[in-house]
Amino acid sequence: MSTGTANRHAARSALAEATGLARAGRYDDARRALAGLGEDVAALDLLARIHAQQGDLAAADACWARVQALDGDHAGAREGRRRIHRIWSGSRGRTARGVGLGVAVLLVAGAGAVAGEALVPAPPEPSSDQDVAAELDRLADELDALRSPAEPEATPSENPEAALSTVQAALEDPRWTTGIDGAGVTVTFDEAIFPDGGTDLPESAQDVLADAAARIAGLEGARVTVVGHTNDIPTGEGSRYADNTELGLARALAAAESLAAQGALPLDEIAIATSGDDDPPYPNTTDADRRRNQTATLLITF
């Protein structure tokens, strides 16, 4: 038997083993079985389905993107990514394209199998596009339920505008601009907090976010939504993010983690959203403002 034939046989055996492990719900073992298969379309497709089953949609999307790069007509990858991006975009009724942070950690960072399996408990059927689509739809339904939890009605303020003006005054700082937006107060940073195309926060940005968190923590009953932004330059080849919507969501998560790093704000009580390159804080008409749009804004509501 030639070396090439032996390698193909070993790859088929590993794929079959991983498929059986995934069907049995042994996701970590299945991923290990797939580890040596590299840029194999079937292996990447199965890995994407495992990640989707566990709730790690960013990893699933990345795997399916690699499948599409190898096989542009792959229907399962196209449909899987379409459904994931629909979940990310919040197209089921929210204007802000976001989710509660506890769920978003699964979407972006893969917070762990336990939480993912709680959302989607049934084992995957890697050979069926329809079954994976059903699992993604079920996950979307679970996310919808988490997006709009039942809350007791708050006692309305006698003068809500005055109350928001008081909050706005308490948040004022020369490093950011505050404004009243509907029922909340927005915080827009004067300088970029992220590098080109990335999500790493420099120390100066971490300091600004820590100070903002301390101010917000002093406001009784405040709820925070972090909205990630980008400029109008698309993510390019080699970027780990498929598009600006995904980059914006990753930036929102990074900013939320930084807000919570000092312990002033609980991470699981921060919501994140993405606007991508839509509705930027600054007009994308100059290089300076494009740079400033590499940021996240904060919405404080009560």
State the Cα–Cα distance between residues 46 and 22, nearest whole angstrom.
Answer: 9
pLDDT digits (tens, 9 = 90+) for 273-284: 888 898 899 999
Q: What phi, psi does 35 have (nearest 5°)?
A: -60, -35
Q: Where are the beta strands (DSSP E) in the chain?
A: 97-100, 176-181, 184-189, 223-229, 270-276, 296-301
The half-sphere exposure of 14 on its side-chain side, counting CA atoms within 13 A, is: 19
CB 192 within 8 A of CB 264: no
pLDDT digits (tens, 9 = 90+) for 233-262: 999 888 888 899 889 989 998 999 999 987
Buried-exposed string 89-100: b where 16+ CB fall within 10 A, e elsewhere: ebeeeeebbbbb
CB 285: neighbour CB atoms within 10 A? 9
- Locate the domains of the chain by residue range: 6-95+111-147, 160-301
Average pLDDT over residues 163-182: 93
- pTM of the predicted model, to two decimals? 0.56
Higher pLDDT, 182 or 300: 300
Q: Which CATH class is domain 160-301?
A: alpha beta
pLDDT digits (tens, 9 = 90+) for 62-111: 888 888 888 888 888 888 877 776 665 543 333 344 444 333 333 333 32
State the Cα–Cα distance between residues 293 and 300, nearest whole angstrom.
Answer: 20
Q: Which two tokens stand for residue 243?
A: 């598009």
